[in-house]
Amino acid sequence: PLTAILGYAQLLESEKLESRAMDYANKVFKQAQRTHRVVQNLLSFARQRKPEKHEFDVVKVLEEALLLRDYDMKVSSINLEREIQSGVPAVSGDPHQVEQVFLNIINNALDAMMDDGAPEDAERKLLVRVRADVNLVTIEFQDSGPGLKEPHRIFEPFYTTKSIGKGTGLGLSICYGIVKEHGGEIAARNAESGGAVIEVRLPSAGHAVTPEEITTSVQKRESALHGTILLVEDEEAVLEFERDVLAGAGAEVNTLTSFDEAKSAFEHRSFDAVIINGKMPGAGSVQQSHAWFAEHSPALARHLLFTFSSLAEPEVRSFLEQNHVPFLVKPFEVGDLIANARRLLVKTQAAGAGS
C-alpha cells in the first residue's frame, strides 16, 4: 500500500494544483515517506541491514526532520532554537536512516515536554546545535523537559521512559544501531539547567557541502520513456500506480496479474522490458523466474526488473547482485521506477542498434 500512496502523492505534486491542495499532497507524501522509513528502520533493527551510503548535507536532513514536527511544536507552544555553525562539512551515510535518528530524538524531546505531568506554565524549548570539528560533525538536541532518570540505559532495546502504551522502547535503540553503523557515537546526559541532551557525532566526509536546491523526485516529462513494457503485478493498487507512472512517462505498458498470463503473452507479442513482482504466486523463486526468462527469451532476461515488498533473504539479494539483475524494494518512488525502466529500455535500444 505504501508504494501506491507514495507514488500517487508524487504524481499529485507534479500536477498544477491550487496551493492548498498542493500542500495537502506534499503532506501526504512526507508522512508516507516517514512511515516507509520507520518500517525500513524497524527491519534494519531486526536484520541489521547495512546503510546505503553516499555523501549528503546533514544540516538539510536535520531541517527536514524538524519540519515534520514543525506544526506540533507551534500548536504546543514549543520554541525551536538553532545554533548551527556555518560551513558544516558533508557526512557520508544513509540520509534516510540519519533523518530517522533525528526524528526519533525530536519525538522523544517533544513527548517529554508535553508529558501530562509537566506544569502548564513551564517553558518549552528545543535547542538544536550543529558544530563541526576536523573530522566530526556533532548534532545536539537539548529539551526543557524533566530530564532522564537513567541516561545510561536509554539506548537499551525495550527500555522506555514513556508511560504504558505510549512507547515501544525501540526508538533510541534503533538510533544507537544506525549511528554505530555510520561509524559515529550517540550519547545522552542531563543538562545542568534541566532537561535532556542527546548528542549525535558523525564522521565528516572531508569537505563542506554547498547548498543545493531541494527538488521533487518526480521526473520531468522531457525524460520520456520509449518502448513497450510488460508489467506483471498481482497487487491491484501497485499495478495501477506503476502503469500510470510508466505510461505517463511515455512507455507503452501492458499489464498482467499472474505469471501464467505472462508466459502465454510471449507467444503472441514481443516486449522491450519486463517489470515483475519477485514474489508472484505461481512463479516459484526469483531464481526460477529468472531461469524461465533465460530459457524462453534470453535477450529479454537481460531486461528484467524485479520488485519486492521486502527482500530479507540474503540468498535472493546475492543472486540478483551476482547476476546484475536490477530490483526495487517497495515502497519506491516515482523517480526510482522511471530511472530503472529507462535503463532497461536504453539497454534494449543499444542491443538493437548493435545487431
Which has more confidence, 39 or 197?
197
Mean pLDDT calculated for residue range 76-81? 91
- pLDDT in the model for residue 213: 28
Q: Which of 103, 46, 10 minimizes the C-alpha distance to 337?
A: 10
Average pLDDT, rounded, for the chain: 79
For residue 299, pLDDT beyond 50: yes
Residue 279 — φ and ψ, nearest 5°? -130, 45
Cell of 150: 537513567
Instruction: Give the C-alpha separation, 200 to 196, whole Å.
Output: 13
SS3 21: helix
For the chain, percent of residues with pLDDT exceeding 70:
77
Angle at 268 between CA 267 and CA 271, to 5 degrees: 90
Which has more confidence, 118 or 140?
140
pLDDT tens column, 137-173: 999 999 998 888 777 677 765 445 544 333 433 467 7
Amino acid (one-letter) located at 151 = P
Residue 121 binned pLDDT confidence (cut-offs 50, 70, 90): low
Instruction: Give the C-alpha separation, 13 to 31, whole Å.
Output: 14
CB 227 within 8 A of CB 273: yes
Residue 70 binned pLDDT confidence (cut-offs 50, 70, 90): confident
Count Cβ atoms within 10 A of the Cβ of residue 133 and give its class: 0-12 exposed, 13-18 middle, 19 or more buried.
Answer: exposed
SS3 271: coil
The whole-model pTM stands at 0.47
Mean pLDDT calculated for residue range 289-293? 91
Q: Which of 155, 152, 150 minimizes the C-alpha distance to 169?
A: 155
Contacts of 134 (CB under 8 A, 6+ apart): none
CB 251 within 8 A of CB 275: no
* Distance, CA of 202 to chain centre: 20
Angle at 351 between CA 348 and CA 355, to 5 degrees: 140
* Distance, CA of 73 to chain centre: 24
pLDDT tens column, 197-217: 999 999 998 644 433 322 233
The DSSP symbol for 20 reads H
- pLDDT in the model for residue 60: 93
Lowest model confidence (mean pLDDT) among 44-58, 170-184, 264-278: 44-58
Contacts of 269 (CB under 8 A, 6+ apart): none
Residue 88 binned pLDDT confidence (cut-offs 50, 70, 90): very high
CA R_g for the chain? 23
Cell of 101: 535518528
pLDDT tens column, 326-354: 998 887 777 788 888 988 887 655 555 55
pLDDT tens column, 301-326: 889 999 988 777 888 988 998 888 99
Amino acid (one-letter) located at 113 = M
* CATH architecture of the domain covering 228-353: 3-Layer(aba) Sandwich (3.40)
- pLDDT in the model for residue 292: 92
CB 73 within 8 A of CB 126: yes
- pLDDT in the model for residue 244: 86
CATH 3.30.1310.10 fits 54-208, yes or no: no
Q: What is the DSSP string of 52-117?
A: --EEE-HHHHHHHHHHHTHHHHHHTTPEEEEEE-TTPEEEEE-HHHHHHHHHHHHHHHHHHHT-TT
The full length of the chain comes to 355
Domain ranges in the chain? 1-46, 54-208, 228-353
Amino acid (one-letter) located at 221 = R
Q: Which of 82, 186, 76 minimizes the C-alpha distance to 142?
A: 82
